[in-house]
Structure 1
Amino acid sequence: MANPVVLLFRGLPSGAGEAQMVAFLLLPWLLLLVALMCSFLAVRHTRGDEEEGRLELVSATAAGRTAPLVATALHGVGASIVAGAVVAVIFVASGAPPVGAALIAAGCTLAGTVFLGVGLVSAELMPTSRAANALAVWLVVGTFVLAGAGNALGTPSADLTRMTSSALAWFSPFGWAENTRPFDTDDAWPLAASVLATLVLLGGAALLHARRDLGASFVPPRTGRAAARPGFATHLALTVRQSRAAGIGWIVAGLLVGILSTSLAGVASRIGEGNPAVTSLLQALSGTSADLSRGLIVFFVMLGIFAACAATQTVLRARQDETQGTAELVLGGGLTRTRWLADHVVVAAACAVLTIAAGIAGAAAGALSGGTDADLIRAAAVAGAGQIVPACLFAAWAAVLVVALPRTAIALAWALVAVAAVIALFGPLFGLSTAVVNASPFASGPVPTGEGVDPRGIVPLLVVAAVGVAAALGGIHRRELVA
Structure 2
Amino acid sequence: MTAAAAHLPARAAGPRHLAGTGALLRLALRRDRVLIPVWVLALGLTVAAMGSSFEALYGTAAARAELAGSMNANGSMRALYGPVLSDSLGGLVAWRMAGFGAVLAAVMSLLIVVRHTREEEETGRQELLSAAMVGRRAPLTAALLAALLADVVLAALIAAGLAASGRPATGSLALGLVIGCTGMLFAGLAAVAAQLTESARMAKGLTGAVLGLAFVLRAAGDAATADSSSPLTWVSPIGWAENLRPYARERWWVLLLFAAAVAVAVCAAYALTARRDLGMSFLPARPGPAAAPRTLAGPSGLAWRLQRATLAGWSAGFLCAGGIFGGIAKGAADLVGGNQQTREIFERMGGEQGLTDAFLATMAGMLGMVASLYAAGAVLRMRAEETGDRAEPVLAGAVGRLRWAAGHLVLAYAGTAAVLACGGLALGVSYGLSVGDLGGQLGPVLAATLAQVPAAWTLTGVAVLAFGLLPRATPAVWAVVGGCLALGWLGPALAFPQWAMDLSPYSHLPKLPGAEATAAPFVWLLALSALFAAAGLAGFRRRDIG
Report the TM-score, using the length of structure 2 for normalisation: 0.81
Cα 1:440–1:366, aligned 2, differ >3 Å: closer, same or farther?
A: same
Corresponding residue of 1:132? 203
Q: Is the 8 A contact 1:262 1:376 kept in 2?
A: no
The DSSP-based 3-state class of the residue aligned with 2:331 is: helix
Cα 1:151–1:128, aligned 2, differ >3 Å: closer, same or farther?
A: same
Query: Runs of 5+ in structure 2 lacking a partner?
Result: 1-70
Counterpart check, 1:326 vs 2:390: yes
Deviation at residue 459 of structure 1 after TM alignment: 4.1
Correspondent of 1:357 among 401, 421, 424: 421
Task: Report the residue type matching 2:451 in the other structure.
Answer: G
Q: Distance in 2 between matches of 1:310 and 1:88?
A: 32
Deviation at residue 287 of structure 1 after TM alignment: 4.7
Correspondent of 2:294 among 222, 230, 235: 230
Query: Runs of 5+ in structure 1 lacking a partner?
Result: 156-162
Deviation at residue 371 of structure 1 after TM alignment: 4.5
Cα shift readout 1:235-276 (whole Å, capped 9, x = no counterpart):
112211111011111111111111112111112233224554
Q: Distance in 2 between matches of 1:287 and 1:89?
A: 36
Deviation at residue 67 of structure 1 after TM alignment: 0.5
- Comparing 133-142 with 419-428, greater Cα deviation is found at 419-428
Deviation at residue 215 of structure 1 after TM alignment: 1.3
Q: Distance in 1 between matches of 2:419 and 2:480?
A: 19
RMSD: 2.2
Report the TM-score, using the length of structure 1 for normalisation: 0.91
Correspondent of 1:204 among 259, 264, 268: 268
- Comparing 126-135 with 138-147, greater Cα deviation is found at 138-147
Counterpart check, 1:406 vs 2:468: no
Cα 1:251–1:215, aligned 2, differ >3 Å: closer, same or farther?
A: same
Cα 1:414–1:189, aligned 2, differ >3 Å: closer, same or farther?
A: same
The DSSP-based 3-state class of the residue aligned with 1:432 is: coil
After superposition, residues 22-61 of structure 1 pair within 5 angstroms as: 22-61=93-132
Counterpart check, 1:388 vs 2:459: no
Deviation at residue 32 of structure 1 after TM alignment: 1.5
Cα shift readout 1:44-92 (whole Å, capped 9, x = no counterpart):
1100001111222232322211100111111111111111222223323
Corresponding residue of 2:60? none
Corresponding residue of 1:168? 232
Counterpart check, 1:479 vs 2:536: no
Q: Distance in 1 between matches of 2:502 and 2:331?
A: 26
Q: Is the 8 A contact 2:386 2:545 kept in 1?
A: yes
Q: Distance in 1 between matches of 2:311 and 2:333?
A: 33
Deviation at residue 207 of structure 1 after TM alignment: 1.0
- Comparing 468-477 with 24-33, greater Cα deviation is found at 24-33
After superposition, residues 21-170 of structure 1 pair within 5 angstroms as: 21-155=92-226, 163-170=227-234
Counterpart check, 1:447 vs 2:508: no
Task: Report the residue type matching 1:40 in the other structure.
Answer: L
Q: Is the 8 A contact 1:104 1:182 kept in 2?
A: yes
Correspondent of 2:400 among 336, 347, 359: 336
Q: Distance in 2 between matches of 1:194 and 1:354?
A: 38
The DSSP-based 3-state class of the residue aligned with 1:345 is: helix
- Comparing 270-279 with 327-336, greater Cα deviation is found at 270-279
* Alignment size in residue pairs: 474
Correspondent of 1:346 among 410, 415, 418: 410
- Comparing 70-79 with 342-351, greater Cα deviation is found at 342-351
Cα shift readout 1:15-50 (whole Å, capped 9, x = no counterpart):
333332233223322212111000111111100001
Deviation at residue 377 of structure 1 after TM alignment: 2.6
Deviation at residue 136 of structure 1 after TM alignment: 1.1
Counterpart check, 1:377 vs 2:442: yes
The DSSP-based 3-state class of the residue aligned with 1:399 is: helix
Q: Distance in 2 between matches of 1:43 and 1:463?
A: 37
Cα shift readout 1:293-337 (whole Å, capped 9, x = no counterpart):
233234333322342122211111111111122211111112221
Q: Percent identity of the aligned residues?
A: 32
Deviation at residue 421 of structure 1 after TM alignment: 1.4
Deviation at residue 455 of structure 1 after TM alignment: 7.2
Q: Is the 8 A contact 1:32 1:140 kept in 2?
A: yes
Q: Which has the larger radius of gyration?
A: 2
Corresponding residue of 2:28? none
Q: Is the 8 A contact 1:264 1:295 kept in 2?
A: no
Q: Distance in 2 between matches of 1:287 and 1:9?
A: 23
Corresponding residue of 2:336? 272
Deviation at residue 400 of structure 1 after TM alignment: 1.0
After superposition, residues 250-265 of structure 1 pair within 5 angstroms as: 250-265=314-329
Q: Distance in 2 between matches of 1:287 and 1:243?
A: 36
Cα shift readout 1:174-232 (whole Å, capped 9, x = no counterpart):
11112222223233232221121111111111111111111111112122233322233
Counterpart check, 1:461 vs 2:525: yes
Deviation at residue 6 of structure 1 after TM alignment: 2.2
Q: Distance in 1 between matches of 2:456 and 2:500?
A: 19
Q: Distance in 2 between matches of 1:369 and 1:223?
A: 46
